[in-house]
Amino acid sequence: MSRLVSIAMVVALTAVFAFSQGKTRLGARAAFNMSSTTMGQGITNEFGGGWEAGLLAGIPIVGTMTFNPGLNFMYRQPVNFKLGSQKISAHEYAISTPLLIQLMPLGGPIFYVNGGLQVDFPFNFHSRTGSATISFNDRAPFDVGAVAGTGLFLAGEFIAIDFKVGVGLMEYDTKNKHSGQLIHGTLGLIYWF
């Protein structure tokens, strides 16, 4: 499955670059994130905070439509719940590759909406129960999720803020011990070069 996703991403990037109608821009993004997982079984999982930083590109397609691929490094806390009197939490790092289409429905250049897919490759997942930290080996090797968001340019076309929400399309772990999908939201600041 991961090979199929990789091939699809390469084909999509090649097609977009081939039909690009303008100058490609590069940007840097820093964001605060909140994430959780759907746990089921009567367990209420709270959102945990984290951060992310990365690079993105703005590749014009046509008019006010652009393709925005990116590469982010993130820290997140997707598991935070109580089981009886015991608090259980987990954190992980991930390399994230959002593949988003951005539209300016009002003709630009201030307000925009975007949507697409995001592929995350998590690593260093650790669960904490009380004072004990446990390595978790059943974490799915990658996540694929649907992402939608909106944003505003604040200073011309150089600084923007954005808000995105994503919902995982895959199971969170490989053995369904924590069956459910990853849910996350981000509030970010982007500087376009």
CATH number at residue 15: 2.40.160.20
pLDDT of residue 106: 83
Which letter does DSSP use for residue 173 in this model? Answer: B
More confident residue, 47 or 101: 101
More confident residue, 191 or 42: 191
Under 8 Å between Cβ of 169 and 145: yes
- Highest average pLDDT, of 11-20, 31-40, 148-157, comes from 148-157
Under 8 Å between Cβ of 151 and 12: no
Range of the domain at 143: 2-192
The mean pLDDT of the chain is: 83
More confident residue, 79 or 61: 61
Average pLDDT over residues 100-110: 87
More confident residue, 126 or 48: 48
Q: Beta 65-83 vs 48-62: how paired, if at all?
A: antiparallel
pLDDT of residue 127: 75
Average pLDDT over residues 131-144: 73
Number of domains the chain is built from: 1
pLDDT of residue 39: 67
Under 8 Å between Cβ of 110 and 153: yes
Using the predicted structure, report yes or no on whether residue 44 has a pLDDT greater than 70: no
pLDDT of residue 175: 65
